Amino acid sequence: MEAIRALNELPKNIAAAIRGLYTDPNSIWADLTMTLIGMILVIVIIVISALLLIVLERKIAGWGSQRPGPNRLGPRGWFQTIADALKLLGKEDLTPGNADKFMFKIAPMFVFGIPILTLAIIPFGYYMTVIDLELGVFFYLGITSLSTLAFLMAGWSSNNKYSLLGGMRAVAQMISYEIPLIFSLLGVVMLTQTFNLTKIVEAQAALPFIFLQPIAFIIFLICGQAEVNRAPFDLIEADQEIIAGPFTEYTGLRWGLFYLGEYANLVAMCALAATVFLGGWQGPAILPGWAWFWLKVGLLIFISMWVRWTFPRIRIDHLMHFAWKVLLPLALLNILLTGLGIYIYQLVIGG
């Protein structure tokens, strides 16, 4: 127990030691230093996670479809991602002649930069939040909605009809699924009366909200899969219709940023789900809190990959029908049931 407590408090002690280097540990310079260190760690987490998840997804795809997967480069093929990264770095960076060059070049940066901002507000463990915002849930939803703009910028600026069609499909899909995703989080906000993610985790010390909000959890997982544009919701690219959609004209490292951005957004989405519905770092004292957090995130990522390699891509009309006529009514019903449950609970406690 003492060892687990020491591991839980290790980040807090490290932060105190760094702040102790300043005359005033609570000065603005100390705060800026801690924020800078935290943002660098978030970037490192994203890059390492993306490199691992790329080869892990290939392994899961091989397991699910009874194929070997990468097994040549490195021990059991685990160095395959390094070879892919070197290949992308060696490819020529081409820009279409009539493209809007400024928008074309910054669109991939948007997609890769958004998860950095969202993960900065996620509590990875006890005293392990880079920026602890009171409006954390609101901030997360506001920042992730900007990824819609990034895909539209990529499609519009490419001067390619396939890219434009893919960008418009991305806008239609992501806006549609964003609405039930937001409503799925409202049940938790109603229970906790806060938007602060740290307080939401602390409220789950006795019981994770997945048991109180099972419908909302399922809706969130489905909408999250659509928000990060993963199969069976990868409608922004369809080789039989629009080739690679908004990515068609991208080459080399810029295409690689889109690819890494997908995995970074997947990590961010699963981190939010683990925080809001699975208790975040809360867990039995056999492991430190940050270990429980990443185990939960890993489980959700595995489920996402399993779904991707199990279900085929659905049609665009079915996709929109599912969002507006199935998920949205269910999300509204969950809000109604949550409010009714809170009212009955207050009546019982008050009586």
Summarised one tens digit per residue, pLDDT across range 290-332 is: 889 999 999 999 999 999 888 888 888 898 999 999 999 999 9
> Domain segments of the chain: what residues?
96-350
| Phi and psi based region of residue 280 (left: phi greater than 0; alpha: psi -120 to 50; beta: remaining) | left
Q: Can you spell out the DSSP letters for 160-202?
A: -HHHHHHHHHHHHHHHHHHHHHHHHHHHHHHHHT---HHHHHH
| Per-residue pLDDT, 351 | 55
Q: What is the per-residue pLDDT across 237-265, written as a single tens digit (0 to 9) for each?
A: 776 677 777 888 888 888 888 888 889 99
Q: Return the amino acid letter for 294.
A: W
DSSP reduced 3-state for 94: coil
- Tell me whether residue 107 is exposed, middle or buried, using C-beta atoms within 10 angstroms of its C-beta: 0 to 12, 13 to 18, 19 or more: buried
> Using one digit for the tens of pLDDT, what is the confidence trace for 32-55?
888 888 888 888 888 888 888 988
Average pLDDT over residues 120-139: 88
Report pLDDT digits (tens) over 149-181. 888 999 899 988 888 888 888 888 888 999 999
Per-residue pLDDT at 75 exceeds 90: no
pTM above 0.85, yes or no: yes
Find the Cα–Cα–Cα–Cα dihedral 274, 278, 284, 287, rounded to 10°: -10
User: How far apart, in Å, are the Cα atoms of 241 and each of 149, 163, 190, 202?
Assistant: 22, 11, 43, 47
Rounded to the nearest angstrom, the gap between the alpha carbon of residue 183 and the centroid of all alpha carbons in its chain is: 17
Return the H-helix or E-strand segment holding 253: helix 252-277
238 φ, ψ (degrees, to nearest 5) = -150, 105
- Of all residues in the chain, the percent with pLDDT exceeding 70 is 99
Rounded Cα distance between 273 and 118, Å, is 13
Average pLDDT over residues 264-278: 94
